[in-house]
Amino acid sequence: MLLSARKKLIDQFGIKNIINYLRRSRQDEEREKKTGEDTLHEQKQLMDRVLNEYRIPYNQVSEIGSGDKISTRPVFMQVIRDLKNEKYEAIAVKEISRMGRGSYTDMGTIYDLIIEKRIYIITPSKIYDPTNPADLRHIRFELFLSREEFESTKERLNGGRYNAALEGKWVSGPPPFGFDYSPATGRLIINEEEAGIVRAIFDYYANGIILNNGKRKLVQFRALATYLKRIGIKTPTGKDNWSPPFLKEFLSHDRYIGTLRQNTRQTLSNGKKVPRPEEEHIVVEKAHPAIIDMEIWSKVQYRINNRDIPTHTKLDFEPNRLAGLCICKKCGKKFIRRASERTYIKKDGSVSYYENEFLFCGTVGCTYVKYKPVEEDILETLKILKDLNPSLLKSQVEKIVIKEKPIDSKEDIIKRIKSRREELDRRMKFIYEKHETGVYSDERFLERKAEIDKELEELAKINVEDQKENENEEFDPSVIKRNLNSVLQAYENTTSELNKNKLLHSVFSHIFIEIVKKGSGSRPATHQIEPYLKSTVLSKPN
């Protein structure tokens, strides 16, 4: 009887197309966690039974995710667009609260749409008529009640998180670099692998980076960022390049001496995150084990607050002879020099010291070769090429020379400059917005702005008219021999690591190194090199 009456209402209201919106409630989500049941499928079966009885076409859409705002529910946003375009006369939901529990603005959007487009609401127990004052009152009440229920639930959850934070427990998502989260205690525990990197960075800033001669030099954040990249230490997100502002923030954070700071930021209605007033911060000392001892911590903070070296100090240590030249053929990473001082006791009891040098690709368990034999093989390659007869030299060089890409046309250069300038303008606008909203401090803003200004100046200096077209290089064996001989002589005569490195880079584009036979005991591994020459070796000296 009841069903027959509803069918008459459907016919009376002239409903011909229905959109059925399926969405989990918070109670459904909690039940799924406890029982593993698929509540969305259960809801679908219920609505299918209800709507099939009306024998009217209907479309069914499901919101997989969840959110307290319409803007975070893309499926419902599309439903609203379809209702505005009068694609459907009615929306079917298990309960009115499934449409929205978000802000009062969102509820107003839903309510205004129902009235303006005369959208009927179909639930398993009732059909709501937008022209009926009693039904509208019930709709308003349901929307208001769902919002209040959501706010109460959120307050309860936030209250629990707030109390846990006051106890020194971690409630802020993924643990910070250097720590793991302990489900048993709810607190942070030390991740020893990451903590080793944290201690190294604090040590480098407190006591100085290590130069090739073993001495230490105090540097500031930009030079430290360069050093960390050169020795192969990656950022917490796995990138090669460290940001100087990030390093300052990293070294200033007292989480590394056991202090927990939470509730320091808040999310505005537009999604932006901004700092909270300090009186709202939750600060708990000795909340978790410290990675950095107080002596190093105090030393680092003193240096940060008393900048004895300008931020833009140039890193003045020399790169080693093979720096940036050798690449592991197995993993594709560039080799890093590693050296250690060894002690050897002679038969007469005297002590001898020597340096043990290796090249390491940075990938655990990959490639590790002795430094000196690689250097000797590289120089021997140049000597062999220099002594080959002209025809054989030409055939060998043709196989291993890397020809430089042709210079772009002037039109391409202009286009690339324009594109880069537009990108810099967007970045400039971005940092101004961050500064205006308080996300960037004055110091950080000025540093970022200076970087962009400098790059804009460099772009302005480019004179497109000065660009020259590439000329095809001729293979002249006598020129190649002279060039190789000059490099070998200069390499032998200089004692500067930097000059040796520049000489090798003037000849080689890159050199692959591969282990062909693993070492055993005192017998080192056997390697082979695969060198590639730059096209400059073909050119006559200016």
- 380-419 burial code (b ≥16 CB/10 A, e <16): ebbeebbebeeeebeeebeeebeeeeeeeeeeeeeeeeee
The tokens 């720096």 sit on which residue?
323
The angle at the Cα of 212, spanning 208 to 216, to the nearest 5 degrees, equals 20
- 297-315 burial code (b ≥16 CB/10 A, e <16): beebeebeeeeeeeeeeeb
Upper half-sphere CA count for residue 80 (Cβ side, 13 Å):
17
Distance CA 283, CA 417 (A): 48
Are the beta carbons of 337 and 240 closer than 8 angstroms? no
pLDDT of residue 157: 45
Write out the H or E segment, with its range, that includes residue 261. strand 260-262
pLDDT of residue 470: 46
pTM of the model: 0.38
The angle at the Cα of 528, spanning 523 to 530, to the nearest 5 degrees, equals 160
Give 18: exposed, middle or buried? Use CB within 10 Å, 0-12, 13-18, 19+.
buried
| Residue 196: both structure tokens together | 């080793």
| Residue 142: both structure tokens together | 């349901």
Name the DSSP letter for residue 33: H
Q: Which residues of the chain have pLDDT under 70?
A: 1-6, 26, 65-68, 101-104, 145-166, 264, 267-271, 279-281, 307-318, 339-347, 349-355, 362, 364-365, 402-410, 439, 463-474, 519-522, 540-542
**42: Cβ contacts below 8 Å, ≥ 6 apart:** none
pLDDT of residue 103: 64
SS3 of residue 126 by DSSP: coil
The CATH class for the domain spanning 2-158 reads: alpha beta
pLDDT of residue 199: 92
Phi, psi of 180 (to 5 degrees): -120, 165
Query: Of the listed 4, 25, 71, 172, which one is catalytic?
Result: 25
pLDDT of residue 410: 67
The tokens 């029982």 sit on which residue?
35
Is 25 among the residues known to form the active site? yes
pLDDT of residue 308: 46
pLDDT of residue 60: 92
Could you tell me whether strands 336-345 and 282-284 are parallel, antiparallel, or unpaired per DSSP bridges?
unpaired
Upper half-sphere CA count for residue 25 (Cβ side, 13 Å):
18
Q: Among candidates 445, 408, 224, 385, which has minimal Cα distance to 314? A: 224
Give 204: exposed, middle or buried? Use CB within 10 Å, 0-12, 13-18, 19+.
buried
SS3 of residue 369 by DSSP: strand
Give 267's strand partners. 273
Q: Among candidates 210, 239, 238, 237, which has minimal Cα distance to 223? A: 210
Are the beta carbons of 370 and 382 closer than 8 angstroms? no
Write out the H or E segment, with its range, that includes residue 188. strand 187-190
Q: Among candidates 409, 402, 348, 406, which has minimal Cα distance to 512? A: 402
Amino acid at 9: L
Give 122's strand partners. 92, 127
Are the beta carbons of 144 and 115 closer than 8 angstroms? no
Distance CA 206, CA 300 (A): 5
pLDDT of residue 90: 92
Write out the H or E segment, with its range, that includes residue 179. strand 179-182
Q: How far apart are the first and last CA of the chain?
A: 102
Are the beta carbons of 217 and 211 closer than 8 angstroms? yes
pLDDT of residue 98: 78
SS3 of residue 144 by DSSP: helix
Q: Is the dihedral of CA 286, 288, 293, 299 positive or negative?
A: negative
179-305 placed in CATH 3.40.50.10210: no
Distance CA 310, CA 392 (A): 55
Distance CA 29, CA 44 (A): 15
In terms of DSSP H, where are the helices of 87-178?
A: 104-116, 133-166
Distance CA 217, CA 133 (A): 79
| Residue 501: both structure tokens together | 């490195």
Are the beta carbons of 89 and 13 closer than 8 angstroms? yes
| Residue 170: both structure tokens together | 């971690």
SS3 of residue 103 by DSSP: coil
Give 351's strand partners. 345
